[in-house]
Chains A and B, each alone.
Chain A
Amino acid sequence: MRGVFRNIGRTLLQAIPTMMGIILISFLLLHLMPGDAVDAIAGMSGSASVETMDAMREVYGLNDNLVVQFWNYIAGVLTLNFGYSISYSAPVLDVIMERLPATLTLMMSAFLLALVMGILVGWAMAVFAGKWPDRLLTSTSLLFYSAPNFWVGLMIIVVFSGTLRWFPSGGAETIGASLEGWAWFADRVTHLVLPSIALAAFFMAIYARLTRAAMLEVLRQDYIRTAAAKGIHPLVIQFRHGLRNALIPVTTVAGLHLGNLLGGAVVVETVFNWPGLGRLTMNALAARDNQVLLGILLLSSVAVIATNLVIDWLITLLDPRIRA
């Protein structure tokens, strides 16, 4: 157990420079973007004289040199002050936090779906390696791997919402229905199904391919022969000795894809009118609300880092060699 904590502590320490780098990049981007906060306020209020704008710049510290500004920016970020959203007239943090849970829900359910399905499919592919089930599943996963997630989303809306009417086509809950308890939960889940599938399809294909390769690699190892020599059942060999080991590289790579997954969520959300960061991003972009855009980038990166910590912990559970 001590090893687990040491390992997580190390990852946490490594996350600090990563976070600093992301803060620096978003600071640079803020300065590359046309216009500053004062321009935006002036644009909102309709008209402002050059003098008032300059005075405001002085107040907001926008006339200081870049190093000072960067210092203030870091101080702001560390105190969770991401600035003020002009288009929403509220602190950026509040605007984002209101929508982050919806995005994380979608992201996590898609991630789990992709991981579980991907591993099962990949395992089946490895078991039937070279035979027709393998070829069928390999082609199918290659197809998913090649399809844009928003298009998958639209197509499953046509089939499962339009034609079959199994699931709603958008939103996170039935509007106007005041449900409670299980009914509320079931309503949320039915809304979650299609967007999760649309987002998961691509990653499921990746994890399936990875699991297949890892499984075939593992099944070649000497310890599989040792296990078979003990007379244990082939299924036990497949799961306890094969899959257990194959999960380590698969989970490791899955961690690397979290950023992509969250990025994909942004696109899928717009297809399904999911009330998360995706729509907020599009609105902020349209309103040129740069503070909100960068706040989203920063906070979603934090979310990725945090999820990565969980994955690291999972890997230490899977692999005793790391725990040592």
Chain B
Amino acid sequence: MSRKTPVLELLNLRVGFPGAEIVKGINLQIHEGEKLALVGESGCGKSLTAFSILRLLPQGAAINGGQVIYDGLDLATLPAWQLRRIRGKGIALILQEPMTSLNPVLPIGLQIAENIRSHETMSRKAVNERVIELLDLVGIANPRERAKMYPHNFSGGMRQRVMIAMAIACNPRLLIADEPTTALDVTIQAQVMDLLEDLCSKLNMAMLLITHDLGAVAQWADRVAVMYSGRIAEMAPIEPFFTGPKHPYSQGLLNSSVEDDWHYSDTRLTEIKGTVASAAGEKGCAFAPRCPYAAAECRLSPPELQSVAPGWVAACARLDAIRALSEGAAHVPA
């Protein structure tokens, strides 16, 4: 299967602000045409991971170590002018907030054309035609007139479609979508996700989908990576993951996702993350303070990822004990 060639590989990637490491060594691969979902609670470092791939980090943040391998190149150290050739052409980015991620004073057609013009030499006319074709492709009616309009003339869902048109303009091999539907209405969310899936298979494009929506993960992703406090907690193919997650945090996620609002409610627990885990030099598993299975051995060192089944890894020191427990009792403690 062509799925086996990685498009992008993160090797022990570490990202942080001065004095605060947020992403603490991530390893993952995204394969050709694959849709990998990255989930985890707010502030765990998902966006920072995504932004560091194209080195679009916010002010103050920096890559502190590790590699970002794309096409045999390490994007983390590539000269800026070479990286610019990959931005928008090989790897494209869609942001969460369609209201603020388009420039309010430029017509949307021009903003899409910018991407094409910075990577391809085409006549002005050909670029315009391509823009209209793209708008049509993402399902915007009257593309010829709409191309001349400004972002404020569009609704949130429409703007996200414009963002998608912009992102796919140069047929990228990988699309990074940072919560592409969080800001949209529920009905629009499904439409936008359907569009993304459709485009992925049409263009044979891989996608790194960052999301809070476990429903979306189950429906649209091939694989899922669960992130906790800057580390990968578990990474698994979709079907087995949803029937039996191995990591206690993943189990908690699946249980609480029934309530639908797990993300923004009590799961934030910032005081635990801030004081116990990071400030104390982080002795053991970051999840220990909230873990129902936590034991003394968990606090020795951060657990390594171990293979659970082919293509399935989890970072927990007590995987065997937990399996024994859950086989004994019928239910998994929350």
| Whole-angstrom distance between the Cβ of A7 and the nearest chain B Cβ | 15
Query: Cβ of A223 and Cβ of B87 under 8 Å apart?
Result: no
Please classify how large the interface on chain A is, using the bins under 10, 10 to 19, 20 to 34, 35 or more. 20 to 34
In the bound complex, do residue A230 and residue B88 qualify as a contact, i.e. CB atoms below 8 Å apart? yes
Tell me the bound Cα distance from A181 to B289 in angstroms: 85
Cβ of B114 and Cβ of A222 under 8 Å apart?
Answer: no
Residues of B within 8 A of A231 (CB): 84-89, 115, 118-119
Does B118 lie within 8 Å of A226, measured CB to CB?
no
A240 interface residue per 8 A CB criterion:
yes
Given the known interface contacts A226-B102, A230-B115, A231-B118, the answer about A320 and B150 at a Cβ–Cβ threshold of 8 Å is yes
B93 touches A229 (CB 8 A): yes
Q: Report the separation of the CA atoms of residues A17 and B166 in the bound assembly, to the nearest whole angstrom.
A: 47
**Selected contact of A241 from candidates B92, B95, B97, B103, CB within 8 Å:** B103
A244-B102 contact in complex given A222-B97, A228-B56, A324-B153, C-beta closer than 8 Å: no
Query: Is the CB of B269 closer than 8 A to any CB of chain A?
Result: no
CA gap between A226 and B97 in the complex, in Å: 11
Query: What residues on A are CB-neighbors of B100 within 8 Å?
Result: 221-223
Asked if A230 contacts B166 (CB within 8 A), the reply is yes
- Residue among B80, B114, B163 with most chain A CB within 10 A: B114
**Docked pose: A220 CA to B152 CA in angstroms:** 20
Report A217-241 residues with CB < 8 Å from chain B CB.
Answer: 220-223, 225-234, 236, 240-241
In the bound assembly, the distance between CA atoms of A197 and B93 in angstroms comes to: 47
Tell me the nearest residue of chain B to A223, going by C-beta. B103
Interface pair B105/A232, CB less than 8 Å apart: no
**Contact between B101 and A222, CB atoms less than 8 A apart:** yes
Kindly report which residue of chain A lies nearest to residue B110, judged by CB atoms.
A240
Question: Number of contacting residues on B, CB 8 A?
Answer: 33
Bound-state CA distance A81–B118 (Å) is 61
Task: Tell me how far the C-beta of B122 lies from the nearest C-beta in chain A, rounded to whole angstroms.
Answer: 15
Q: Which of B87, B95, B104, B111 contacts A321 (CB 8 A)?
A: B104
Q: Does B187 contact A (CB under 8 A)?
A: no
Closest-by-CB residue of A relative to B85 is: A231
Q: Which B245-293 residues sit within 8 Å CB-CB of chain A?
A: none
Q: Is the CB of A321 within 8 A of B152?
A: yes
Considering the chains assembled together, what is the distance between the CA atoms of A244 and B106 in angstroms?
A: 9
Residue of A nearest to B90 (CB): A231
Over the window 121-150 of chain A, the binary record of Cβ atoms lying under 8 Å from chain B Cβ atoms (1 yes, 0 no) is 000000000000000000000000000000
Given A231-B88, A241-B103, list of 8 further CB < 8 A pairs? A225-B95, A225-B101, A230-B87, A230-B115, A230-B166, A231-B87, A233-B118, A244-B103
- Identify the A interface with B (CB < 8 A): 220-223, 225-234, 236, 240-241, 244-245, 248, 318-321, 324
The 3 closest A-B pairs by CB, nearest first: A231-B87, A230-B88, A229-B93
